[in-house]
Amino acid sequence: MNKRGVFWIVEGKLLAFPFDETAAVGVAKSGNTYNHKLLWEHIKPCGKPFDHYPRGRVEYNTRGKAIIYMNPNIGKEYVAEIRTAFGITTEPEIRYDFSEHYKCFLDKD
């Protein structure tokens, strides 16, 4: 089943969080996905801030096509794993997001 949600690449490993409609923590204002910063505060996989590691998001357009937004430092080798984690069965659109929103330690001067 197609799920929206957020993910990080932490030390070379995918840390994926498909959205759970019963979630009480880390939920975005829209109420239908997670907020990276809010979710990180609850999972705390390490002592780094939420924006330290490259991250991304899975969303769906109005036609049901999966769109993967992600930091440009995340290589295509992770796409298959992201598809599996979020139940994406068709070819997704990949959008590398160069905005401040997805910046990580690799982008900082």
Write the pLDDT tens digit of every residue in 32-47. 899 999 999 999 888 9
Which one has a higher pLDDT value, 56 or 23?
56
Q: How many domains does the chain have?
A: 1
**DSSP string over 2-13:** ---EEEEEETTE
Give per-residue pLDDT as tens, 51-98: 999 999 999 999 999 999 999 999 999 999 999 999 999 999 999 999
pLDDT of 32: 86
* Global pTM value: 0.94
- 23 Cβ contact list (under 8 Å, min separation 6): 34
- Number of other CB atoms surrounding residue 71 within 10 Å: 22
> Contact, 5 vs 59, CB < 8 A?
no
- Dihedral pair phi/psi, residue 42, rounded to 5°: -95, -30
On the question of pLDDT at 109 being above 70, the answer is no
Residue 44 lies in domain: 5-107
Q: Which of 95, 102, 96, 37 is nearest to 66 (CA)?
A: 95
Mean pLDDT (whole number) for 15-38: 92
β-strand pairing of 66-70 with 55-60: antiparallel
